[in-house]
């Protein structure tokens, strides 16, 4: 694998300065949830986060923002963990629109502003568990994917949701040149009932600020009970479909990465154990602590029923 050392660029230089959202007032939502969103005008003048935690948040200590924004997987910007932070500043995130098509009553292309207008953003602290054995705890700012899907009115024949990332080689160095680690666009998918689960969110921010490009600006999926690669970044298309859609990592190595990719400490990756994980920020090298990995990444109470009766070894 080609490894390049990226130039050292301060994170303040690579954060998009555009801001899509004005500060919103804290609202009390249904089900006793306190929902809120407050996004700063820019990183340099970041307002303190006044959002109230969603009922779906963990109370674990968040990973340091510097770690969550400098140790990334976003192969469109390179395969090294430092590449996205070094290269993603070139991504133009405004204007942005998402095509929503397939088996829906109301297909169309929505701008990011259209998508966000009717939603109330919530702060939700979720674990993101990567398949290679590391995890982070990130305060996301987002809204349930179900809210967007309901707006476009899925037809009865829709069984899966397919997602696509931007293809723009001029801005994405991983999409040009001799070494192309993946085929583009990066694609992912969920079963419709998984996509409608309230834990599945579309995030537009983290740490009370708009998403840094390296974390998937301006809109990315977060599915906290699945391995990290399901959480597709910089989404430009969402399609409702009848058949299970192709997914990037399964297309590359189907014996290693399945469609479901639920975090499961009992089902090893063919090349490594999935029983433990390293929490980013908790020591490194010889001093790295390892934690036991939890079934469904700790969200079993909420999501296990989605898979009742399924053989999770066969459906990895
Ligand atoms: N488009 C796109 N989305 C992607 C990836 C990618 O390479 N391209 N990498 C995935 C993987 S493997 C992980 S672990 C997470 C990492 O998200 P983070 O960098 O915000 O922690 O993004 C996922 N989403
Ligand atoms: Mo990953």
Q: What is the 3-state secondary structure (H, E, C) of 141-154?
A: EEEEHHHHHHHHCE
Q: Are residues 30 and 150 in the same domain?
A: no
**187, part of any domain:** yes
Residue 140 and residue 22 share a domain: no
- Residue 241: give the domain boundaries: 58-307
Q: Are strands 235-241 and 97-102 parallel, antiparallel or unpaired?
A: parallel
Is residue 255 a part of any domain in this protein?
yes
Residue 94 in tokens: 């405004």
- CA 233 / ligand 1 centre spacing (Å): 6
- In angstroms, the CA 7 to CA 10 distance is 10
pTM: 0.86
Q: Does the C-beta of 72 come closer than 6 Å to ligand 1? A: yes
Please check whether residue 200 lies inside any domain of the structure: yes
pLDDT of residue 40: 32
User: Considering the domain boundaries, does residue 208 fall inside one?
Assistant: yes
pLDDT tens for the 316 residues of the chain, in order: 333 333 333 333 333 323 223 223 222 333 333 333 333 333 433 335 345 578 899 999 999 999 999 999 999 999 999 999 999 999 999 999 999 999 999 999 999 999 999 999 999 999 999 999 999 999 999 999 999 999 999 999 999 999 999 999 999 999 998 889 999 999 999 999 999 999 999 999 999 999 999 999 999 999 999 999 999 999 999 999 999 999 999 999 999 999 999 999 999 999 999 999 999 999 877 778 899 999 999 999 999 999 999 999 999 9
**What number of other Cβ atoms are within 10 A of residue 68's Cβ?**
22
* pLDDT of the residue at 285: 77
SS (H, E, C) 169-203: CCCCHHHCCCCCCCCCCCEEEEEHHHHCCCCCEEE
Give CB contacts under 8 A, 24+ apart, made by 276-284.
276/133, 277/129, 277/133, 277/134, 277/135, 278/133, 278/134, 278/135, 279/63, 279/134, 279/135, 279/136, 279/137, 280/63, 280/67, 280/68, 280/71, 280/134, 280/135, 280/136, 281/63, 281/64, 281/67, 281/136
Q: Of 53, 75, 90, which closes a domain?
A: 53
Same domain, 33 and 73: no
Count of domains observed in the chain:
2
Are 34 and 70 contained in the same domain?
A: no
Q: Are residues 233 and 176 located together in one domain of the fold? A: yes
In a domain, 316, yes or no: no
Q: Are the C-beta atoms of 89 and 9 separated by less than 8 Å?
A: yes
Q: Specify whether 45 is located in the same domain as 62.
A: no
What residues pair up with 262 in beta bridges, in sequence order? 226
Mark whether 250 and 269 lie in a shared domain: yes
Residues 19 and 73 in one domain: no
Closest CA to 112 of 148, 88, 157: 148
Domain C-terminal end among 38, 53, 68: 53
* Whether the CB of 261 sits within 6 Å of ligand 1: no
pLDDT of residue 86: 98
Whether residues 93 and 239 fall in one domain: yes
Q: Are residues 100 and 43 in the same domain?
A: no
In short, whether 232's Cβ falls inside 6 Å of ligand 1 is yes
**Do 37 and 110 reside in the same domain of the chain?**
no
Mutate to test the pocket of ligand 1, among 216, 217, 247, 252 (most ligand atoms within 8 A of CB): 216
Residues 169 and 26 in one domain: no
CA of 216, closest atom in ligand 1: 20
Report the separation in Å between the CA atom of 13 and the middle of ligand 2, taken as the mean of its atom positions: 25
315 assigned to some structural domain: no
Select from 53, 72, 97 the last residue of a domain: 53
CA trace torsion 148, 152, 154, 155 (10° rounding):
180
Q: What is the CATH number of the domain that holds 242?
A: 3.90.420.10
Phi, psi of 75 (to 5 degrees): -65, -20
Residue 95 lies in a domain: yes
Q: For strands 108-111 and 97-102, give the pairing.
A: antiparallel
Tell me if 314 is assigned to some domain: no
Do the beta carbons of residue 11 and residue 82 sit within 8 Å? no
């Amino acid at each position: 694998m080609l490894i390049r050392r990226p130039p050292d660029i301060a994170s303040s230089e690579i954060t998009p300065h555009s801001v899509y959202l004005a500060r919103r007032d804290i609202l009390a939502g249904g089900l006793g949830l306190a929902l809120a969103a407050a996004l700063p005008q820019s990183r340099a003048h970041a307002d303190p986060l006044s959002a109230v935690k969603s009922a779906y948040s963990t109370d674990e200590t968040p990973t340091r923002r510097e770690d969550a924004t400098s140790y990334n997987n976003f192969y469109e910007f390179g395969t090294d963990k430092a590449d996205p932070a070094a290269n993603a500043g070139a991504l133009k995130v405004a204007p942005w629109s998402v095509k929503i098509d397939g088996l829906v009553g109301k297909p169309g292309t929505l701008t990011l502003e259209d998508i966000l207008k009717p939603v109330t953003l919530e702060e939700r602290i979720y674990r993101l568990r990567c398949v290679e054995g590391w995890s982070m705890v990130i305060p996301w700012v987002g809204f349930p994917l179900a809210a967007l899907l309901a707006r476009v009115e899925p037809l009865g024949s829709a069984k899966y949701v397919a997602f696509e990332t931007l293809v723009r080689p001029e801005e994405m160095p991983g999409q040009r040149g001799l070494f192309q680690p993946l085929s583009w666009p990066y694609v992912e998918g969920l079963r419709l009932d998984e996509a409608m689960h309230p834990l599945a969110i579309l995030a537009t921010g983290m740490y009370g600020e708009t998403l840094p490009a390296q974390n998937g600006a301006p809109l990315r999926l977060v599915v906290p009970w699945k391995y990290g690669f399901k959480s597709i970044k910089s989404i430009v298309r969402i399609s409702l479909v009848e058949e299970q859609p192709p997914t990037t990592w399964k297309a590359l190595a189907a014996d290693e990465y399945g469609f479901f990719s639920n975090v499961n400490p009992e089902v090893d990756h063919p090349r490594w154990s999935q029983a433990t994980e390293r929490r980013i920020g908790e020591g490194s090298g010889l001093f790295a602590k390892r934690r036991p990995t939890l079934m469904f990444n700790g969200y079993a109470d909420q999501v296990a029923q989605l898979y009742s009766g399924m053989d999770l070894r066969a459906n990895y």
